[in-house]
Amino acid sequence: MRGRVAALADRRARALAPQDEGVDRRHRAKGKSDARTRIENLLDEGTFTELGLFAQHRATGFGMEKSHPPGDGVVTGWGTIDGRTVFVFAHDARIRGGALGEVFARKMHQILDLAESSGAPVIGLNDGGGARIQEGIDSLAGFGGLFARNVRVSGVIPQLSVVLGSCAGGAVYSPALTDFTFMVEGMGNMFITGPDVVREVTGEDVTQEALGGARVHADRTGVASFVAPDEETCFDDVRHLLSYLPSNNQEPPPEVPTDDPPDRRCDGLVDIVPVDDRAPYDMGRVIAEIVDDGEYLQVQETWARNIICAFARLDGKVVGIVGNQPTVFAGVLDIDSSEKAARFVRACDAFNIPLVTLVDVPGFLPGVGQEHEAIIRRGAKLLYAYCEATVPRIQVIVRKAFGGAYIVMDSKSIGADLSFAWPTNQTAVMGAEGAANIIFRKEIKAASDPERLRKSLIGKYTRELMHPYAAAERGHVDDVIDPADTRRVLIRSLAMLASKRTVIPVRKHGNVPL
């Protein structure tokens, strides 16, 4: 027995050692850690339990018969983050570039199956070049099994993807199907076809970074939820995000004790938000003033910056906040901001996170480009997401709320449980100037002094239909509140709504306007 135990220790040591010292050196020269080190840096110290260490591929041709590295290029197992169980896999780019084969895929399938049955988050550390060509259709089938599981557990357990190297071809679709994607600048990149193929097919000369680097996906495509300058910061961000998420959809999000009083007045809000509806201000400052200790975590911060989507806490309890950002395009809704907010709303709803919507929106962005890029369909995604959400939903109209954008930003008419407004609010089909010009076009044109009449009619429309209490008088707003009381009102309202129950029609699923 002692001899076999010693042999096991020796075999385990050989399995854990680099398979090719030269490849290992080149890997580290790029600033990359190996797969197991990455997992150890992510998880609580000493908590990782590995599965499939001795697994090997079964391919017999195209040079595969000459090498059977233990683990087959992916490290899988479980551990804890802040004491909570998580499942994890990490591609080992030192073994066949991290390309996926049959056994590689089976190990990942097992991790997702265990995560589903255990009700725990799964985190993928991605650094692989797609399907393993030498294994043919078995590789493609392996990806198919992975994608099917990503979809099956979507909204059941949190799925986080971390891109730490090249992620190409079929390898990009698993991150795309997960809830949140992290990328490291200068290291992670994602694309369907790489620079060589692009150059050959289209003649375009582009680098990996310019084609699918972290900044591209953070600023232009919205594929990246978070971007970090290095692996260490990235793993800190992963742990931070998990602190806002439940382990599964049957649990509430984690609560964190706070010394920030629930009835604290937010007197600074009066100075942050100008009464002039054309004057910009930073909605981020409004959020910081309201939430616990001024702390919140933005998702997709540098994409579609005219809307803010963030996790925060009120009285220690997690909330999802959606707010128009007046400093960017005056806070209008457009195709990107609609899709960004829609995905965030659905994520919050899936994981039992109440929604607070801070409204200051002049409407949808007009223009040929927006119409031709399907603002109708894409704007409807946000409308659909809010209408479908069953978590507690509270709307706060900070300043202006015009047209269809007011409806879409979680108005009571589409199911918000409560709607509050500040005395600075204006809620109407459009601004007074535009409304008067349309309604009284003939009268203004025929007047002896058109400009004087126009100003008079603008004032009349403002006084009668856009004053701060117009929506409250008609029951579309539940109360007009002192901005300084916003935190207190939200916390009390969320406490009341904590036991909210919703009856959902029996159906297979709705048809989201994708």
Shared domain for 209 and 280, answered yes or no, is no
Decide: 400 and 362 in contact? Cβ < 8 Å.
yes
Q: What is the mean pLDDT of residues 157-166?
A: 95
Shared domain for 226 and 278, answered yes or no, is no
Phi, psi of 37 (to 5 degrees): -65, -40
The identity of residue 336, as a single letter, is D
**Lowest mean pLDDT, pick from 250-259, 313-322, 420-429, 438-447:** 438-447
Q: Which of 324, 247, 251 lies closest to 287, judged by CA?
A: 324
Label residue 63 by pLDDT band (50, 70, 90).
Answer: low
Percent of the chain with pLDDT over 90: 66
Shared domain for 227 and 300, answered yes or no, is no
Shared domain for 238 and 274, answered yes or no, is no
Taking the model in full, what pTM does it have?
0.92
Shared domain for 37 and 153, answered yes or no, is yes
Q: In a 3-state reduction of DSSP, which class is residue 444?
A: helix
Shared domain for 331 and 380, answered yes or no, is yes
pLDDT of residue 462: 72
DSSP H or E run through 137: helix 137-152
Q: For the segment 17-46, what is each residue's pLDDT rounded down to a tens digit?
A: 666 555 556 656 676 778 999 999 999 999
Q: Is residue 247 part of a domain?
A: no
Q: Domain range for residue 195?
A: 30-242
Q: At 155, which CATH number? A: 3.90.226.10
Q: What is the total count of domains within the chain?
A: 2
Decide: 254 and 246 in contact? Cβ < 8 Å.
yes
Rounded to the nearest 10 degrees, the angle between the axes of helix 432-439 and helix 450-465 is 120
Q: For the segment 455-505, what is each residue's pLDDT rounded down to a tens digit?
A: 777 777 777 767 778 888 888 999 999 999 999 999 999 999 999 999 888
User: Last residue of a domain, which of 242, 277, 300?
Assistant: 242
Residues with a catalytic annotation lie at 169-170, 404-405
Distance separating alpha carbons of residues 114 and 315, to the nearest angstrom: 34
Shared domain for 406 and 484, answered yes or no, is yes
Q: For the segment 106-115, what is each residue's pLDDT rounded down to a tens digit?
A: 999 999 999 9
Shared domain for 194 and 119, answered yes or no, is yes
Q: Is residue 449 part of a domain?
A: no
